[in-house]
Amino acid sequence: MGFIGWIIVGIVAGFIAEKVTKSDHGLITNLIVGLIGAFVGGFIADRFGISFVNNALVDTTIIATLGAILVLFIYQKVRS
Protein backbone atom coordinates (compact mmCIF):
# COMPACT_ATOMS: atom_id res chain seq x y z
CA MET A 1 0.00 0.00 0.00
CA GLY A 2 1.36 3.39 -0.93
CA PHE A 3 1.59 6.66 0.92
CA ILE A 4 -1.90 7.81 -0.14
CA GLY A 5 -3.35 4.47 0.96
CA TRP A 6 -1.85 4.88 4.43
CA ILE A 7 -3.28 8.40 4.67
CA ILE A 8 -6.75 7.11 3.76
CA VAL A 9 -6.51 4.21 6.22
CA GLY A 10 -5.29 6.58 8.95
CA ILE A 11 -8.13 9.04 8.44
CA VAL A 12 -10.79 6.30 8.33
CA ALA A 13 -9.36 4.47 11.35
CA GLY A 14 -9.05 7.71 13.34
CA PHE A 15 -12.58 8.76 12.43
CA ILE A 16 -14.10 5.42 13.47
CA ALA A 17 -12.07 5.38 16.70
CA GLU A 18 -13.21 8.94 17.40
CA LYS A 19 -16.86 7.92 17.09
CA VAL A 20 -16.45 4.72 19.13
CA THR A 21 -14.70 6.52 21.99
CA LYS A 22 -17.03 9.54 21.77
CA SER A 23 -14.10 11.91 21.27
CA ASP A 24 -14.12 15.11 19.28
CA HIS A 25 -11.09 15.66 17.06
CA GLY A 26 -10.32 17.21 13.73
CA LEU A 27 -9.13 15.64 10.50
CA ILE A 28 -5.41 15.97 11.24
CA THR A 29 -5.79 14.48 14.75
CA ASN A 30 -7.82 11.61 13.29
CA LEU A 31 -5.03 10.98 10.78
CA ILE A 32 -2.36 10.98 13.49
CA VAL A 33 -4.41 8.74 15.82
CA GLY A 34 -5.19 6.40 12.92
CA LEU A 35 -1.54 6.08 11.89
CA ILE A 36 -0.40 5.51 15.47
CA GLY A 37 -3.25 3.02 15.82
CA ALA A 38 -2.03 1.21 12.72
CA PHE A 39 1.39 0.75 14.30
CA VAL A 40 -0.05 -0.31 17.66
CA GLY A 41 -2.63 -2.62 16.09
CA GLY A 42 -0.07 -4.12 13.74
CA PHE A 43 2.36 -4.73 16.58
CA ILE A 44 -0.30 -6.44 18.72
CA ALA A 45 -1.64 -8.50 15.79
CA ASP A 46 1.89 -9.63 14.95
CA ARG A 47 2.56 -10.64 18.57
CA PHE A 48 -0.60 -12.76 18.61
CA GLY A 49 0.10 -14.24 15.18
CA ILE A 50 -2.99 -12.66 13.63
CA SER A 51 -2.79 -12.19 9.89
CA PHE A 52 -5.39 -11.48 7.26
CA VAL A 53 -5.00 -12.39 3.61
CA ASN A 54 -8.32 -11.60 1.94
CA ASN A 55 -8.39 -7.86 1.39
CA ALA A 56 -5.33 -5.91 2.48
CA LEU A 57 -7.08 -2.51 2.58
CA VAL A 58 -10.00 -3.74 4.69
CA ASP A 59 -7.78 -5.84 6.95
CA THR A 60 -5.36 -2.98 7.52
CA THR A 61 -8.21 -0.60 8.26
CA ILE A 62 -9.68 -3.01 10.83
CA ILE A 63 -6.33 -3.48 12.60
CA ALA A 64 -5.61 0.28 12.48
CA THR A 65 -9.07 1.08 13.85
CA LEU A 66 -8.71 -1.35 16.75
CA GLY A 67 -5.28 0.07 17.51
CA ALA A 68 -6.61 3.64 17.32
CA ILE A 69 -9.45 2.79 19.68
CA LEU A 70 -6.91 1.36 22.12
CA VAL A 71 -4.71 4.46 21.81
CA LEU A 72 -7.65 6.83 22.44
CA PHE A 73 -8.91 4.70 25.33
CA ILE A 74 -5.51 4.78 27.04
CA TYR A 75 -5.12 8.51 26.31
CA GLN A 76 -8.51 9.27 27.87
CA LYS A 77 -7.70 7.20 30.98
CA VAL A 78 -4.31 8.87 31.45
CA ARG A 79 -5.72 12.33 30.88
CA SER A 80 -8.57 12.03 33.41
Mean pLDDT of 19-29: 89
Which own/partner contact pairs does 58-66 have at CB distance under 8 Å and 24+ positions apart? 60/1, 60/9, 61/9, 61/12, 61/13, 63/38, 64/9, 64/10, 64/12, 64/13, 64/34, 64/35, 64/37, 64/38, 65/12, 65/13, 65/16, 65/17, 65/34, 65/37, 65/41, 66/37, 66/41
Residue 26 pLDDT grade (very low, low, confident, very high; cuts 50, 70, 90): confident
Looking at residue 16, its pLDDT comes to: 94
pTM value? 0.87
